[in-house]
Amino acid sequence: MIPTANTQSLDTPYGVALLNDPVLNKGTAFTPDERKRFGLEGLLPTSTDTLDRQVERVLGHLDGKPNDLEQYIYLVGLSDRNETLFYRTVMSDPARFIPILYDPTVADACLAFGHIYRRARGMYITRQMKGRIAEVLRNWPQRDIRFICVSTGGRILGLGDIGANGMGVPIGKLQLYTACAAVPPECLLPVLFDIGTTNEALRADPLYLGSREKPPSDEELDELVEEFVQAVQQVFPDCCIHFEDWKGTDAIRLLNRYADKILCYNDDIQGTASVALAGLTTALQIINAPLTDQRILFLGAGSAGIGIAKLIAAALQDEGLSQDEARSRISMFDVDGLLEPSRASLSEAQKVYAHKAAPSKDLVKTIETLKPTILIGVSTKGGAFNQRVVEAMSKLNERPIIFALSNPTDKAECTAEQAYTWSKGKALFAAGVQFPDVTLNGRTYHPGQANNFYIFPAVGLATYVTRPQRITDECFIVAAQASADQIGPDLRAKGMLFPGQDNILETEITTATRVAEFMFDEGLAQVKRPRDIRAWIEGQLYKPQY
């Protein structure tokens, strides 16, 4: 907010400097009086716009862009010029803008990151900064940083290792904290942990902006991460570290190391698991079947699959099963076939799902043998759920639950149209990207989008207000249940597994309220419990207004 004449301080930007400050800039909305006081006369057109009029102009610009990537580039530029107008625009129509700011358009933006780069929008930590990472973090102008989203770019979406080009994901994730859950943007910091890349094409690209080294050993990486983590505790002591899109083995190892020591979480593991559990909960409500009766088969056994499996197992234990019984309901199949005890080189996290079975590299035969009721794809192998796979699931189940969660779109294991067509409309389907509605034999089906934006902004909002000591797996189970509970009978009758995106803020506040209540109940919160948690949260929301 622009200071008044009585509150203007000596360090308030003046003239062109004010117009170049994205947080304070109001552009054509500066009033005549403000233009006099802040040295803006003659620097702006004569007319004074309202914020809504400015949004109208922005929407006109966006309508003239030829594709979603160009709209993304325009919106990023807008956020660099006028943060308030950017968020007012995005929050005015989240269903339209979430797919542009994040998945699937962010995949194209990351691939082209070095070519469309305009301005640094976060911090880059390199191996050469070892020993002085805390000093580097102090270069960031804000001190009350409450969330750092940090990635190595080692496993971005389904794109693999794209190094520093992965910075688009921390930027986009944190924008969704605000756009979806109204977490104040000034407390958010995107960080790219630039440790090098194995991507030879990027290393040969003269416009690539990252380190051209090969990534370090696990031991060296762990030393760097430890220094970074401790530096964050020192420089930003109230900060939650959101690990995002690290190589799978790194992601699991680091989450196991820090989850019980600092305020942190990994969205690829815990957020993905939570949104998948939310969709499964709704699907099982539709068919009136308990989770304890399900048999789940994963295609893909990386960090996302392991994370989903772990949370489902925890939910099964909450329903009364033992740990061994819960794990026995879950099987995994990856590029080398079914996970079973004869497989060499399985990680410790994978071994608990390697049940006694004959080796198999045929997914359809594995389905026929194991008879899963739920099939979850986290393989990044586009088209892996072919007609034979879907038909096999449909033959075994009256309402097969099929989740094709890999993204971007070309990595999805199957499309919504394929799932509904091949199952003859029987499938309960969700994907990691939003597919359009499908009409089959006169009936319209509404595919769900099992995207983490239903979960992590809400968990972030709950964390922002309660300042918990830790974020536990149980917080994500509560978030999953809260999301599922917002799908009423009318929506379930349409086959919808997730809330609509048109009123995403209301959805996130409801979920955040449930998570915050849990944090208070479990003694995780470090602030005094208010009488009305929802009203208390609503009083702390960011509002994009001048």
* pLDDT score at 309: 97
Q: Pairing relation of β-strands 428-431 and 448-449?
A: parallel
* pLDDT score at 2: 58
Distance CA 227, CA 246 (A): 17
CA dihedral for 532, 536, 539, 543, sign (positive or negative): negative
* pLDDT score at 158: 72
Q: Residues 450, 279: contact at Cβ < 8 Å?
A: yes
* pLDDT score at 331: 98
Q: Pairing relation of β-strands 264-266 and 296-299?
A: unpaired
Residue 477 burial (CB count, 10 A): 23
* 313-319 long-range Cβ contacts below 8 angstroms, 24+ apart: 314/473, 314/474, 314/477, 315/277, 315/291, 315/477, 315/480, 316/291, 316/292, 318/477, 319/290, 319/291, 319/292
Q: Residues 515, 482: contact at Cβ < 8 Å?
A: yes
Q: Return the biggest CA–CA distance within the chain.
A: 80
Distance CA 45, CA 353 (A): 65
Range 454-538 classified under CATH 1.10.10.10: no
CATH for 100-262? 3.40.50.10380
Residue 257 burial (CB count, 10 A): 15
Instruction: Of 545, 473, 463, 467, give the one whose Cα is nearest residue 512.
Output: 463
Per-residue pLDDT tens, the chain, 546 aa: give them.
Answer: 555 433 445 577 999 999 999 999 999 999 999 999 999 999 999 999 999 999 999 999 999 999 999 999 999 999 999 999 999 999 999 999 999 998 889 999 999 999 999 988 899 999 999 999 999 999 999 999 999 999 999 887 778 899 999 999 999 999 999 999 999 999 999 999 999 999 999 999 999 999 999 999 999 999 999 999 999 999 999 999 999 999 888 999 999 999 999 999 999 999 999 999 999 999 999 999 999 999 999 999 998 999 999 999 999 999 999 999 999 999 999 999 999 999 998 999 999 999 999 999 999 999 999 999 999 999 999 999 999 999 999 999 999 999 999 988 899 999 999 999 999 999 999 999 889 999 999 999 999 899 899 999 999 999 999 999 999 999 999 999 999 999 999 888 888 899 988 899 999 999 999 999 999 999 999 999 999 999 999 999 999 999
For the domain made up of 1-49, the CATH class stated in words is: mainly alpha
The answer to whether 130 is a known catalytic residue is no
**Which candidate in 87, 102, 208, 265 is catalytic?**
102
Distance CA 185, CA 177 (A): 8
- Domains 100-262 and 270-451 belong to one CATH topology: yes
The answer to whether 265 is a known catalytic residue is no
Cβ-proximal residues to 97 (8 Å cutoff; 6+ apart), any chain: 75, 89, 90, 179
What's domain 270-451's architecture? Answer: 3-Layer(aba) Sandwich (3.40)
* pLDDT score at 249: 86
Tokens of 35: 């233009």
Q: Residues 535, 478: contact at Cβ < 8 Å?
A: no
Rg (CA), the chain: 24
**Which candidate in 26, 173, 247, 426 is catalytic?**
173
| Domain range summary for the chain, segments of one domain joined by + | 1-49, 100-262, 270-451, 454-538
